[in-house]
A and B are shown apart, each in its own frame.
Chain A
Amino acid sequence: MSALAKENPMKQFSKHSVSAQAMVDAFKRCGIDYVTTVPDMVQIALHQLLDSGESGLKVVHCTTEDQAIEVAGGLYAGGKNVAVIVQNQGLYAGINSLRALGLDSKVPLLFVIGQFGREFSNLGGNPRDSKRRVVFLLEPLLETLGVPYWRLEGPDDMGNVEAAWKASRERSGPAALIVGHFVGW
């Protein structure tokens, strides 16, 4: 372990993080112009960049995740391209809105879902092997809902942002990008 890592154990996990700026750049390549959100703890760096006004993306802050999904539906109806940023708990809370707008109504929705609560010992491993229900239930739940998903486990996975976005457009429905660890500053 490096001296820096000994000083701050968080540093040793940086290879599992992607930067907030890289995520914003990927969103822009997709043509995304709006983000709706209830903030997610593991994506705080991304939220800070978005809230700074320097990202070029507009942000709609909502008080619940179902609203974030519904506002995204309204923005789509009005011609905008939207990403919905929530954490795993928020996805669980918003399932009926996902069902109504994403699945029944076939509205293309990109969900960016942070794996809140994932133990560091699981980083680099399979999130399904996590000891925490809030983590290991996410992918099976998305499969039950018929929502395709891509993992974002480190910088090598950045292409998955565009893959998930493209899938949401092609299938006219929801697709998910699962952010496995804290986004970097």
Chain B
Amino acid sequence: MDINYEKVGLKVGLEIHQRLDTHKLFCSCPSIMREDEPHEWIRRRLSVSYSELGTIDPAARFESLRKRDFLYGIYYDTTCEVEADEAPPHPMNEEALEISLTIALMLGMEPVDEVHVMRKIVVDGSNTTGFQRTALVALGGEGSGIETKWGRVRMATLCLEEESAYIVESKSERAKYRLDRLGIPLVELATEPDIMYPEQAREAALKLGRILRATGKVQRGLGTIRQDINVSIEGGARQEIKGVQDLDLIPEIIRREVVRQLNLLSIRDELRSRDVKEEDLDIPIVDVTSAFSSSKSKLITKALSRGERVYGIKVKGFSGILGKELQPGRRFGKELADYAKVFGGVEGILHGDELPGYGIGKDEVNEVRELLGCDEGDSFVLVLGREDAAKLALDSVRERLKQALRGVPNETRRALPDGNTAFMRPMPGSARMYPETDVMPVNVRPVLERIKELPPMPEDQVRELMEKYDLTEELAWEIFDDGKVKLFERLSRYGVPTRFLASMLVSMVRSLKRESEPVENLGEEHFEEIAKLLGEGSLAKEAVPEVLRSLSRGEYSSAEEYVKTHRMSVDELDKVIEQVLEKLSSKVRERGERAYGMVMGEVMKEVRGKIDGSIVSKRVKEKLEEFLKAR
């Protein structure tokens, strides 16, 4: 589909979440993610008052929340009573606040005078408290923001908040989270909806990410930065798309979201032309299990053997609509299934536009249509499950079908790897927030006074790298984007050629990563040690890729240890050269001094990385001369 974005009135805003490289926001635990099993699991429930619950069947949601167990994995050494909600939060981490203010100033934003920590109610269990602590640190303003090729993108807000717990497992009756991630300081940077083109969003995200990294105080690596994208078009509705980790996917996600909204609008028009009304959908849920008494469908028989039943609703006038494609490979029925999953915790739905199918025969379909009272032009939706779950699922499906008559509902959606999106939850209304009474407000003036000067902007840092160290622009950006500017500058003191150093830090690591080596095990201390050994001449340049490989695999505890086991003396080298000359003696004699390249090549095969290439070259030359003279 070719889209004229100006015509559809595309408006995009970004929300960037970046973890800071400090201890946690409200306790002094380290901001470390763990790989190992938690030491203990704590079982909790959450509750909100009945009358505070939202739109779809609050009674049932209330019930299901109350029965849902949340299990929290704790680590005795790196999480404490604060994450477990067994102690009040400590005062706000001032270093994190200082970094946030620095970022705000770099973006031309206006810090608030006094930061107030709020509790934002979140009852999916991702916070042990049932709320996320968050504070508004700075506001945008006309002068704030970044330039893109398509124009300026202004900033809206900068919030400092706590990262949520890490989800391990989620089922309707329980969810499991790890507490290592809970409480890591997170900067949430939101732009105004000034972005008008999909590619512009990518550029803006890249630039904002680089400004965050320019502070040198943000965490690096998988999951440490996430983009949410707010997308709307004229006549459509604002969608919040969560959890985009790959910048290159942003334009495609936006394109596909526009397509989805356009398709939903055309479905609305189609339904209107069929004269379908919202009240046509207020039809009771029917138990249609009897239609499947002798079913051959595995899907059905399995569900029935679990004691579940089949429930359905007639969907008047929707024939053919549920099978319509909204995004490449994603049909409208899939949207309904997402609602059913989210609200009812069921596996999914079956609908009239895809049946017969799944082993369900034509007779069964006719029987269902009969039980539901479907006429020509009507479709239906079925759900397998226990009565309460199925009812919640079908109520939410019915609500979503009604919204189809109105157009595009406001939703929070989840980015999928192919650029499509899936329904996650309804867009929260105005957030239920109240003050975090356990934390005193912070006057920002003294913190601002501590910020003597702002870090150079990314472009300036890169230009300086290029000029001072004679690097190409590409290499300089790579060092910057990898967050290795400080490391690079430190290592340059060891007298190693800077281009080699740069390529060690970025290209070599990247190619090892491509070969699936565990490069995340490489620490700054490893690079520093290598640079030192290179500078002293104790390590040959040629050996560096192999050293990095062994260190990332943990085969050696240090580069020094690697060198000890791999270094070759000149005597040993001479022996290798002699052996090569012996092996190739006839060819060498034939070619004379022109045999140098061939001999050198053979020798290097044996000694690469064990001794400096220039020494090898010198000795090969000498030995070759001797050999030829001896003749």
Instruction: Indicate whether A and B interact.
Output: no
Residues of chain B whose beta carbon lies under 8 Å from any beta carbon of chain A = none
